[in-house]
Structure 1
């Protein structure tokens, strides 16, 4: 059975993210997409627009971790109505700190592009401590 197109889209996004391929990510997202980052640390908040998502957030993830930020996609779930949900594991080093955490993202898909990403983490306090 073929993979649902929304699952394939999200999987392609994770693969591009891992490679640092911002051009492919740009092609998968709407121009006005928003990435919502939970927590109360300096990277928390809403990144509105493709340039903010790719540059201000994803660029900062790489910069703050010296390029060590990695994410492993574990599961993709779809509802067939424009939503996909992932479960992933992420790791990173920042100074003398290390994080190895489960997380996920709820994606909203309009047409064949990602329009909204709501990020979730397993342990908010641990994420806040790592990024603060």
Structure 2
């Protein structure tokens, strides 16, 4: 069975994020994207629109001293939904975390319209970010 096109699009999005390739991310993210960041840390909120989401990415990299990294394990997707299983790692001030997460996407016409993550240890990232 052929891979759904949204699997490749999401996988390509992770590669683009790792390279800071915003042109590719613009092709993946809807302009009215909503990015939900849970937890109880200084970055917790709903980010609306690509510019706010990109600002969140920048702040996350700044707070983690450039160490934030996503190790993509697998992606599942259909026309309207996607799930990526990842390992997130980051360091700050001599402390490090590695957390398994599921990233959940809503898609419309091949573009991500909404994002959530489900973490195996959300408090670890909260403690790291403050």
Q: TM-score range by the shorter chain?
A: over 0.9
- Equivalence for 1:131: 129
Aligned residues of 1:33 and 1:49 also touching (Cα < 8 A): yes
TM-score (norm 2): 0.94
Distance 2:118 2:59 in 1: 18
Deviation at 1:42, TM superposition (A): 0.4
Q: Is 1:112 matched with 2:110?
A: yes
Deviation at 1:25, TM superposition (A): 0.8
For residues 43-82 of structure 1, the aligned pairs below 5 Å read 43-55=43-55, 57-78=56-77, 80-82=78-80
Distance 1:83 1:20 in 2: 24
Deviation at 1:96, TM superposition (A): 1.6
Question: How many aligned positions are there?
Answer: 130
Give RMSD over aligned pairs: 1.2
TM-score (norm 1): 0.93
Q: Is 1:30 matched with 2:22?
A: no
Match of 2:67, SS?
coil
Distance 1:42 1:14 in 2: 24
For residues 15-40 of structure 1, the C-alpha deviation after alignment (integer angstroms, 9 at most, x for no partner) is 10111112211221110001101101
Distance 1:112 1:124 in 2: 29
Question: Where do 5+ consecutive residues of structure 1 fail to align?
Answer: none
